[in-house]
Structure 1
Amino acid sequence: MSYAIGSVSSQDLWTRLKEQFSTVSRTSIFQMKSNLQTIKKRSDNVSQYLQKIKEARDYLSAAMVHFADEDIVILALIGLPPEYNTFQCMIRGRENVISLKEFRSQLLAEERIVETHVPNPLLSAMVADHSSATKGSTSPFQNNSSPSSFFSGGNRQFNHTKQKGRGKFNQGVKFNRQS
């Protein structure tokens, strides 16, 4: 835009743009391509993120280097953080190519979901417990541990005798009743 400001005619605008971008070297094109391919969302909102991609694409287009919309979608997916993994899978699994307009719309909708997502504390605790249990490369299923001892914390022993009728779920557990 800064090159267009001050132009008095379309011919003048074209001349300014041609002078600016006709001197683009192979090195600068390589650098612009690298910049486009390394754009990450990070803390930007989706609109800012997509605007960075559009600006990089526009610079390349002015230098006569064009990218298909599908390639831009792929680059945008690569730059998304892990919170968008489900969205990435959904877009990659499509049978037909998604338009940039539709991609933008769906990514904005996904952003609202990601922002309102409150992590499940139980799931977080399970992940934290699992990661601490797996340190030292020992699995909870090694050392003759059974899957049931993993889920029960490995501290309880259950009597696995077959019983029918009342109380079969209280096997091995004793209750003290107060009268």
Structure 2
Amino acid sequence: MLIKAVKKDLALLSLLMATLSDDAMEHIIGCKTPQEAWTCLQDRFALVSVARINQLKTEFYTAQKGADSVDKFLMRLKSIRDQLVSAGEKVSDNDLIIAALTGLPQEFDMIRTVILARETSISVKDFGAQLLSAELANESRISSLTNSMSAMYVHGESSNSRSNGGHGRYQGDSSNMGSGSYQGSSNQRPYSSQNKGSYNSNRYASGNNFTRPYFGNQ
């Protein structure tokens, strides 16, 4: 009888080992009976399950909406809740709503205050509908503000163009003043250093009594 029992245990152990992955096999090395191997596997995967559950709970209660839409954010939370429920954890609808409100940005402060101040519970369906309405209102307000700012910018550019259209244009900078660089609509002949020399020569030739001006070293 003992020999038959040993053979049966070895057969069961071999069958169990045949169904395990390489990673799982490492945890039953040294086990002599199928009961011992099964106990080792239970202990190992129980620890993994607890760690996974804790990770899911952390993700659930710290999730942030970020750039996601309200609908996508709620779907992400529902997916985590379903995993927790599958692992044997209880997650109520109110837990889901609190987690969602915690992860909403500042733009949803008003709806957050309204939901938290309710005396009666709200269904997940109605909660999602109110969040979608708040999201649409936020998007509409941002769009209106953007259009107003664009209109103000265009109006300012138009006013600047009209105010600059009636003024003449002065070409040149202050360093060129007095050197014949002023360009305007006047028909006056520009005064240059060449004309100055011609003018002085004519004055000198007009009479012997006129003293030639001194211009420095020639």
Segments ≥4 residues shifted beyond 4 Å? 21-24
TM-score normalized with structure 1 length: 0.53
For the pair 1:69 / 2:93, whether they are aligned, the reply is: yes
Q: Deviations over 1:6-29 (max 9, x none)?
A: xxxxxxxxxxxxxxx988521111
Following the alignment from structure 2 to structure 1, what is the Cα–Cα distance between the partners of residues 113 and 72? 22
Question: Could you tell me whether the CA contact under 8 Å between 1:22 and 1:63 is conserved in 2?
Answer: no
> Percent of pairs identical after alignment?
37
State which of 114, 133, 139 in structure 1 corresponds to 2:138. Answer: 114
Structure 2: where are the runs of 5+ without partners? Answer: 1-44, 146-218
Aligned residues between the structures: 101
State which of 81, 101, 106 in structure 2 corresponds to 1:82. Answer: 106
Following the alignment from structure 1 to structure 2, what is the Cα–Cα distance between the partners of residues 63 and 82? 33
User: Relative contact order (C-alpha < 8 Å, sep 6+): which is higher?
Assistant: 1
Larger radius of gyration: 2
CA displacement at 1:71 relative to structure 2: 1.2
The equivalent of 1:141 in structure 2 is none
Counterpart residue identity of residue 113, structure 1? A
Counterpart residue identity of residue 93, structure 1? A
Structure 1: where are the runs of 5+ without partners? Answer: 1-20, 122-179
Counterpart residue identity of residue 129, structure 2? S
From the two aligned structures, give the one with the greater helix fraction.
2
CA displacement at 1:118 relative to structure 2: 3.3
The equivalent of 1:152 in structure 2 is none
Following the alignment from structure 2 to structure 1, what is the Cα–Cα distance between the partners of residues 52 and 126? 31
TM-score normalized with structure 2 length: 0.43
